[in-house]
């Protein structure tokens, strides 16, 4: 491509999935700009990374469609008190080559009523092949549980979901599935039992059309054994350690 307003020349060099634009100007300066083309990022994807994404989307994760690049990226975000968890997660995602290796830093944001929140987050690269994930998880702009959740609800996905949205409730654990429909919660409950024989119950969250999933006390040891290798020390209290 050649472009010359004010005598600037653009040369595009393509290496695999990365586009480089070399810009020459009248001062004989050279500027190199990299453009990532999501259409070149098509997989195939490692099952572990999809499991990590699915576990995150059950919790606070978000699949963001980016119209400009016609692709989707996955955003991972936590409050600053979960810093060690997000760094652990970032190490896994970056080691698979799905995001840059720059360690995320705590940032401040203005929340409700002007309250300052401290959060830490990072994003994957944008992939056109992640559009399929976006389409499965978001129906009419509402997050929903996809029908293939059974394939990717692995122990690491369960661990990430528990870290994100799990909390102690007496001698049990509940997953805060408030944003999912009753049908989605029942389907999750069925899949969890079918895969791991973990017994759960779907209970009203006390607000209209909001539900949470409780792990039956007798099934806590099963869940604990499944996910203990992925749980960092700061989260062990959720598993009655």
- Distance from the Cα of residue 84 to its chain's centroid: 16
CA 131 – CA 116 distance, rounded (Å): 33
CA distance 143 to 215: 22
| Rounded average pLDDT over 53-74 | 93
Contact 121, 115 (CB under 8 A): no
Whole-prediction pTM value? Answer: 0.79
In this structure, are 30 and 143 located in the same domain? no
Mapping DSSP to helix (H, G, I), strand (E, B) and coil, where does residue 156 land? helix
Query: Contact at 8 Å (CB) between 105 and 120?
Result: yes
Say yes or no: 215 and 143 in one domain: yes
Same domain, 110 and 172: yes
Strand-pairing partners, residue 120, are: 78
Residue range(s) defining the domain that contains residue 94: 47-239
Same domain as 86, residue 13: no
Angle at 102 between CA 101 and CA 107, to 5 degrees: 140
Number of domains in the chain: 2
- Does residue 18 form part of some domain? yes
Count other Cβ atoms within 10 Å, centred on residue 73: 20
Q: Supply the pLDDT for residue 241.
A: 54
29 and 52 together in one domain: no
Contact yes or no for 190/153 (Cβ under 8 A): no
Write out pLDDT tens, residues 71-129: 999 999 887 777 888 899 999 999 999 999 998 887 766 666 667 767 788 999 999 99
Do 131 and 90 sit in the same domain of this protein? yes
Percent of the chain with pLDDT over 70: 74
Whether residue 94 is found in the same domain as residue 21: no
- Quick check: helix, strand or coil at residue 128? helix
For residues 146 and 197, membership in a common domain is answered with: yes
87 belongs to a structural domain: yes
């Amino acid at each position: 491509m050649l472009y010359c307003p004010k005598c600037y020349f653009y040369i595009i060099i393509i290496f695999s999935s990365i586009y480089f634009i070399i810009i020459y100007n009248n001062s004989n300066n050279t500027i190199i700009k990299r453009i990532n083309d999501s259409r070149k990022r098509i997989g195939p994807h490692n099952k572990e990374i999809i499991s990590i994404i699915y576990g995150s989307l059950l919790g606070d994760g978000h699949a963001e469609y980016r119209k400009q690049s016609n692709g989707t990226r996955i955003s991972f975000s936590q409050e600053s008190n979960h810093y060690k968890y997000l760094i652990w997660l970032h190490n896994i995602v970056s080691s698979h080559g799905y995001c840059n290796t720059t360690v995320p830093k705590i940032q401040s944001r203005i929340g409700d009523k002007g309250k300052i929140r401290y959060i830490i987050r990072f994003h994957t690269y944008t992939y056109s092949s992640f559009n399929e994930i976006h389409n499965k998880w978001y129906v009419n702009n509402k997050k929903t549980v996809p029908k293939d959740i059974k394939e990717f609800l692995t122990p690491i996905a369960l661990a990430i979901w528990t870290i994100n949205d799990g909390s102690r409730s007496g001698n049990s654990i509940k997953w805060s599935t408030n944003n999912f429909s009753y049908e989605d919660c029942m389907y999750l409950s069925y899949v969890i039992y079918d895969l791991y024989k973990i017994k759960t119950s779907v209970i009203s969250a006390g607000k209209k059309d909001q539900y949470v999933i409780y792990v039956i006390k007798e099934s806590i040891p099963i869940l604990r054994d499944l996910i203990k290798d992925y749980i960092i020390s700061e989260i062990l209290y959720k598993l009655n350690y």
